[in-house]
């Protein structure tokens, strides 16, 4: 995933846009921080949903450490289709 793709996913995640849980499953990311995680092919909307799940607080704030973790791992392990 490139910086531009991450930025686009972040924009979607922070918008009020609804992301369908069934159409955009995030179970493919299970264990993405582990050493033996195999790269996966995903959509921007799936990454956006992962960002919401991992880094966005219920009050709308952001956990910057978790956001950076998604960005760092995603750079190597998420292939956007």
Residue 56 DSSP code:
B
Q: Given this model, what pLDDT does residue 23 score?
A: 87
Query: Is residue 4 over pLDDT 90?
Result: yes
10-23 residue pLDDT tens? 999 999 899 888 88
From CA 23, how far away is CA 2, in angstroms rounded? Answer: 23
Are 78 and 1 contacting, i.e. CB atoms less than 8 angstroms apart? yes
**CA angle at 76 for the pair 73 and 36, rounded to the nearest 5°:** 75
pTM, rounded to two decimals: 0.91
33-75 residue pLDDT tens? 999 999 999 999 999 999 999 998 888 789 999 999 999 999 9
Q: What is the mean pLDDT of residues 18-29?
A: 90
């Amino acid at each position: 995933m490139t910086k531009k793709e991450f930025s686009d996913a972040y924009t979607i995640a922070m918008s009020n846009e609804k992301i369908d849980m069934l159409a955009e499953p995030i179970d493919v990311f299970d264990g993405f921080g582990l050493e033996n995680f195999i790269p996966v092919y995903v959509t921007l909307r799936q990454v956006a949903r992962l960002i919401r799940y991992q880094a966005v607080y219920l009050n709308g704030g952001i956990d910057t450490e978790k956001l950076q973790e998604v960005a760092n791992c995603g750079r190597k392990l998420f292939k956007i289709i």
